[in-house]
Amino acid sequence: MPQSADKVLDHNKLFHEPEYQDMLKAKRAKYENAPTAPQVTEILDWTKSWDYREKNLAREALVINPAKACQPLGAVFAAAGFEGTMSFVHGSQGCVAYYRSHLSRHFKEPSSAVSSSMTEDAAVFGGLVNMVDGLANTYALYSPKMIAVSTTCMAEVIGDDLNSFIIQAKEKGSVPEDYDVPFAHTPAFVGSHVDGYDNMIKGILGHFWKDATRKETDSINIIPGFDGYAVGNIRELNRMLREMGVTYTLLSDVSDVYDTPSDGTFRMYDGGTKLEDAKAAVNAKATLSMQEYNTKRTLELCEKAGQETAAFHYPMGVQGTDEFLMKVSDLSGKAIPDSLTLERGRLVDAMADSQAYLHGKTYAIYGDPDFVYAMARFVMETGGEPTHCLATNGSKEWKAQMEELLASSPFGANAQVWAGKDLWHLRSILATEPTDLLIGNSYGKYLERDLGIPLIRLTFPIFDRHHHHRFPTWGYQGGLNVLVKLLDTVFDKLDTDTGKLGETDISFDLTR
C-alpha cells in the first residue's frame, strides 16, 4: 500500500507507484482497445515530420489549440478597469462563468461579472425581458457605479439590439434614466478578445463623449490594452509618467481590481478609471494606445473627437520604451527626467553584461499581435533571433508590420511570421525547424513537453505559475524583468544539460 498518513502521496507521486502502474497497464491491455506501442511510436514520429507539417499547415477548417479567446472576454477585462463597474454580458450564462473563471485563474483574484441568463425562450422571443430584469437585479444587488453591457454570440446571432434594449430597460425603471449603461456588441465569431477590448473601450468612451463639447487640455489619454501583466505594467506606467510630471488619464486601469489586498474585506470593485475622468478624457489633446490591435476602432473615435492619436505595440525593451517616452515627452512638453535616463542606462548595462548568453539564441514567440511584435523587437535587441513569430489573431496587416520590423535588423533575417496559425501548427513548425527557446503563455507547456524547447511564460494566460503578472514587463524596469526571465531559462537549461554527476558535468560551472 503506497499511501500513508505520515507521508501523504497525491496525484503527483501516487500514480507512479507500482500498484497503480500495474493497474493502468492492465486497463490499457484488457479494455481500452488501444493501439500497439509500435503504432503509437510510428505516428508520434510522423507528427514531427515535414510530411506531417505540410498536411498540418494545409488545414482549412479545423483549428487546434488556438492562441486566442473570444471578444466578450476582452470586453469584461476592459470594463473592469473603470471605477465601480459591473460587466453585464447579454446572452447565455455559461459564457460569463467561463470569463470569470479564466480571469481568476490567471490573476488569482476575484472576477465579477453578471449574465442576462438567456435560455431557449429568449432565443425565440429575444432577450429584452432578460435585459430589463437583469439590469434591475444587478443594480439592486451589486450597487455598481456603471453597468457595461456586452454580448455573447447567442445574443448576436438572434440580433438583439443593445441600444434599444437599454433604452427600454431605463423606461421600465430598471436603472435610473441618467445612469451610465455603456454597451458594446461583441460577437465571438468576429476577431478575438483584443477586438472585444477595443469595442468595449469605444462603447464606454462613445457613451461619455457623445454629447460633449470638447475643450482641449494638455492632458494625454493612455489606453493600456488587454494585458495579462496589466497589474505590474500599469503601475510601472504610472510611475514613469509621474516621474515625468505628465498630466494623463488611463482609460481602463485594472491594476487595483486585479490585485486587491487580503485584509478581511472582499472588494468587488477597486480603483479603476474614475467615471468623471473618462468623461473629461474627451478634452485631452491626444490619446495613446499601448497596443495598436486593441484599439483600432477606439482610436478612430478619438480622432473623430479631434484628438491626436498614436499607437504602440506593447512597448517593451530599450527602443520600445524609448519611443513611447519620447512620444509622451513630445506631446506633453515634459522632458524625460534623468531618473528615467538612469534606468535606461541600467537596463542597457544589464543587457551588455549578459549579452554573450543571449546573442544568437533563436526563439519562437506567440501571443497577441502587439505582444509578439514587442517581444521580437526586444529579442533582437539582445542579439537573439525571433525565428518564428505567431499570432493566431494576427492579420495580414500585422504580418506586414512584423516583416518590416524583422527586416530592420540582421537578427530578423531568418525569421518567419505566422499570422492566423495555431499552436498545433507551431508544433509542426518547431518539430521541423526547432528554436532554442519558446516564449508564450501556459498553453506553451505542451510544446515544451513534446519538443523539449524551454518555455518562458510572458503573456496571458499564465495559470501554472503564480504572481508574475504583479511585476512589470513594460518600461526599462520591466525590460529588466524580462531579461532576467530569458537569462534564468538559458542558465537553468545549461545547468540541466551539464548536471549529471560524472556524465555531463564537465561544464557545470560555478560562474557564468
Nearer to another protein, 139 or 476 (CB): 139
Residues serving a catalytic function are: 153, 157
Q: Does 47 bind another protein (CB under 8 A)?
A: yes
H/E run at residue 249 = strand 248-250
Closer residue to another protein in complex, CB, 56/283: 56
Q: Which of 305, 215, 302 is nearest to 251 (CA)?
A: 302
- Asked if 317 is part of the footprint of another protein (rule: CB under 8 A), the reply reads no
C-alpha cell at 361: 539564441
Q: Is 466 in the site for another protein (CB under 8 A)?
A: no
Is there binding between residue 104 and another protein (CB under 8 A)?
A: yes
Query: What DSSP letter does each residue of 316-382 carry, written as one string?
Result: BHHHHHHHHHHHHHHHH-PPPPHHHHHHHHHHHHHHHHHHHHHTT-EEEEESSHHHHHHHHHHHHHT
Nearer to another protein, 100 or 344 (CB): 100
Q: Site residues for another protein, window 201-260 (CB under 8 A)?
A: 260
Helix (H), strand (E) at residue 397: helix 396-407
The C-alpha cell 454580458 sits at 89
Residues 376-435 touching another protein, rule: CB under 8 A, are 427
Does 263 contact another protein by CB under 8 A? yes
Interaction between residue 30 and another protein (CB under 8 A): yes
Using CB under 8 A as the binding rule, whether residue 188 contacts another protein is answered as yes
Q: Which stretch binds another protein (CB under 8 A): 14-22, 75-83, 279-287, 345-353?
A: 14-22
Closest distance of CB 338 from another protein, Å: 35
Residue 181's identity, in one-letter code, is V
Among candidate residues 287, 336, 301, the one with its CA nearest the CA of residue 200? 301
Q: Under rule CB under 8 A, which residues in 51-90 are in contact with another protein? A: 52, 55-56, 59-66, 68-73, 88
Supply the Cα-derived Rg of the chain in whole angstroms.
25
Site string for another protein, 424-443 (x = CB under 8 A): ---x---------------x
Q: Candidates 22-30, 228-236, 350-358, 365-373 — which segment interacts with another protein by CB under 8 A?
A: 22-30
The smaller minimum CB distance to another protein, of residues 262 and 511, is found at: 262
Shortest CB 53 distance to another protein, Å: 11
Query: Residues 231, 255: contact at Cβ < 8 Å?
Result: yes
3-state DSSP assignment of residue 22: helix
Helix crossing, 93-107 with 71-80: angle to 10°? Answer: 60
DSSP designation for 100: H
User: Do 512 and 357 meet the contact criterion of CB atoms below 8 Å apart?
Assistant: yes
If you search the block for the grid coordinates 534564468, which residue do you land on? 488
Q: Is 42 helix (H, G, I), strand (E, B) or coil?
A: helix
Three cell numbers written together for 159: 440580433
- Shortest Å, Cβ 340 to another protein: 32
Nearer to another protein, 13 or 512 (CB): 13
Comparison of 134 and 386: residue with beta carbon closer to another protein: 134
DSSP 132: H
Residues 107-166 touching another protein, rule: CB under 8 A, are 108-120, 122-123, 130-131, 133-138, 140-142, 152-154, 157-158
CB of 286 to another protein, least distance (A): 33
Work out whether 275 is an interface residue with another protein (CB under 8 A). no
